[in-house]
Structure 1
Amino acid sequence: MKYLSRLKLWTLVGALALSMPALAQEAFRVGFVNTDRIFREANSAKSAQAKLEQEFSRREKELGDMGNSLKNASDKFEREAPTLSESQRQQRQKQLVDQDREFQRKRREYQEDLTARRNEELQQVLERANRVVKQVAEQEKYDLIIQEAVYINPKHDITDKVIKALNAAK
C-alpha cells in the first residue's frame, strides 16, 4: 500500500516537473494540512472525544470494578490456598479462571465497541475538515493540498486556518 502511495507521489512529482514551463507562467500553490492536529485541537474533535468519554464511562467503571474484584479474589485465594482442601482449591481456581475469562471477554468487547465508535466520530470530524480544507483551498486559490508529508515548509501549512474555520462553523 505504501508503495502505491509513493508511486502516486512520484508520478505527481514527475508530472509537475514536466509541466514546470507552464507553471512558470502561473504560480502553483501547494498547502499542507496536519490531520493529527485537527483531531487534537478542533472543537468538533474535542466534542467527539467528550461524547465518547461520556458514552463509555459507565462501562469503563464497570470494567475497573470487575478487574479490582478479580484481583481481590485472586489475592484472597493466594492467602487461603494452603488451608483449603484439594477440592476447594480446584473449585476456587475454576471460579477465578471463569471470572478472568469473563473479564477478558468484556474488556475485549469494550475495546472493540470503543474503537468502532471512535472511528465513526473521527470520520465525521474528518469529513467536516475535508469540506473546510476544500473551502480554504478554493478561497485562497490553492492548486494542491497535501495531508501527509515527510517534510513541509511551515509557510505552506494551512492547518491553523482550517482549525479556525472548523471552530467557527457550526
Structure 2
Amino acid sequence: MKTFSRHFSLAVLLGSMALAAPLAVHAEEFKAGFVNTDRLFREANAAKAAQSKLEQEFSKREKELVDMGNTLKSASEKFERDAPTMAESQRQTRQRQLVDQDREFQRKRREFQEDLSARKNEELAQVLERANKVVKQVAEQEKYDVILQEAVYINPKHDITDKVLKALNAGAK
C-alpha cells in the first residue's frame, strides 16, 4: 500500500508539473506592448511636418478671417456709437449691412474650420498609416504578440512608444 501511495503521489506530482510547465512557458512566450498614439501625433517628425504644412497652407485664410472679424467688430462699435444720431432709415440700412457682413463672416469661418478639419484628418491619417507600419515592424522584429494603442492602464515597462518614435523618425529622414 505504501508503494501504491508513493507511486500515486509521484504520479500526481509529475502530472501537476507537466500541466504547470506549459502554462509557465506560455506565460513567458506571450509578449504585449503599448503605443501612445497621442504622443506619436505630438512628437513624431512626420506629425510635426504635417502640422507645419497645415499652418502654412491655412495661415493666409486665417489672417483674412481675423482681419474680417476685426473690421466687423470695429464697424459694429462705430454703429453703436453713431446709431443714436442717425436717421431711422439710415440706421436700419446700416444694421442690415452689419447683419449681412456678420452672416458672411460666420459662413467663411465655418468653411475655414471644415476645410482645416478635413485636411488635418487627411494629414493625421497619413501619419497614423506610417506609424502603424513602424509598429508592425517593431512588433515583428521584437516578437510581440499584441500591441495596444488604447488602454485604461499600462505598466510603463510595456510602453514601446519611444522605440516606435525612434524608428518612425529614422524612417522619415
Q: TM-score, normalised by structure 2?
A: 0.85
Residue type of the alignment partner of 1:41: E
After superposition, give the CA deviation of every residue in 1:51-89 in whole Å (9 maximum; x if it has no partner): 000000000000000000000000000000000000000
- Identity rate of aligned residues, in percent? 79
Sort the Cα spacing of 1:22 and 1:70 in 2 relative to 1 into closer, same or farther, 3 A.
farther
Query: How far apart in 2 are the matches of 1:81 and 1:23?
Result: 84
After superposition, give the CA deviation of every residue in 1:21-69 in whole Å (9 maximum; x if it has no partner): 8553232000000000000000000000000000000000000000000
List runs of 5+ in structure 2 lacking aligned partners: 1-19
From 38, 41, 46, the counterpart of 2:40: 38
Residue type of the alignment partner of 1:24: A
Q: TM-score, normalised by structure 1?
A: 0.86
Residue type of the alignment partner of 1:165: A
Query: Residue 55 of structure 1 corresponds to which residue in structure 2?
Result: 57
Query: How far apart in 2 are the matches of 1:157 and 1:24?
Result: 23
Residue type of the alignment partner of 2:71: S
Query: How far apart in 2 are the matches of 1:85 and 1:133?
Result: 70
Residue type of the alignment partner of 2:70: N
Query: How far apart in 2 are the matches of 1:21 and 1:82?
Result: 92
SS class of match (1:169):
helix
Query: Residue 132 of structure 1 corresponds to which residue in structure 2?
Result: 134
The count of residues paired between Structure 1 and Structure 2 equals: 151
1:168 shift after superposition:
0.3
Sort the Cα spacing of 1:73 and 1:118 in 2 relative to 1 into closer, same or farther, 3 A.
same
Sort the Cα spacing of 1:21 and 1:152 in 2 relative to 1 into closer, same or farther, 3 A.
farther
RMSD in angstroms over aligned alpha carbons?
Answer: 1.3
1:167 aligned onto 2:155: no
- State the structure with more CA Rg: 2
Aligned structure 1 segments of 4 or more residues deviating by more than 4 angstroms = 20-23
